[in-house]
Amino acid sequence: MSFTGKYEVESQENYETFMKVIGIPADVIEKGKSFKFFTEVTQSGNDFTWSQIYPGHTMTNTFTIGKESDMETMGGKKFKATVQLQGGKVVVDFGKYHHTSEIVGGKLVETSVAGGITFKRISSRVA
């Protein structure tokens, strides 16, 4: 299944607790609670461009499934990672947290786990 599309966040579970666990500053967490943002994905075979579009800032990771790529975390830290495709899910370890993304019922479902806390974000396709 293709991940290509633009998605708007519909709901988030455990946002604040998870962000604290991975070390995001309180003022940034507070701002993040009050605005909607988008995820835009372009997929061509195993090549992906994955962007998180926030008001005034866009974070983009470009990667190929199975190959080491330069990545950036939610907190802005740069690192190298190998993204895998497992059972239709895009899977990557972001250092402090494990992240999976999948399409369920036409929606983008992203799940991140750190310190025993599971953060789940569901986004609806808008384009």
pTM reported for the whole predicted model: 0.90
From residue 56, alpha-carbon distances to 21, 31, 37, 43 in Å are 24, 12, 11, 24
In DSSP terms, 62 is beta-bridged to 49
pLDDT of 7-44, one tens digit each? 999 999 999 999 999 888 898 888 888 778 899 999 99
pLDDT block averages, 10 residues each, the chain of length 127 = 92 93 88 85 96 88 96 81 94 87 96 95 95
Q: Cα(102)–Cα(85) distance, rounded to whole angstroms?
A: 10
HEC-encoded secondary structure of 65-78: CCCEEEEECCCCCE
Question: How many CA atoms within 13 Å lie on the side-chain side of 12?
Answer: 18
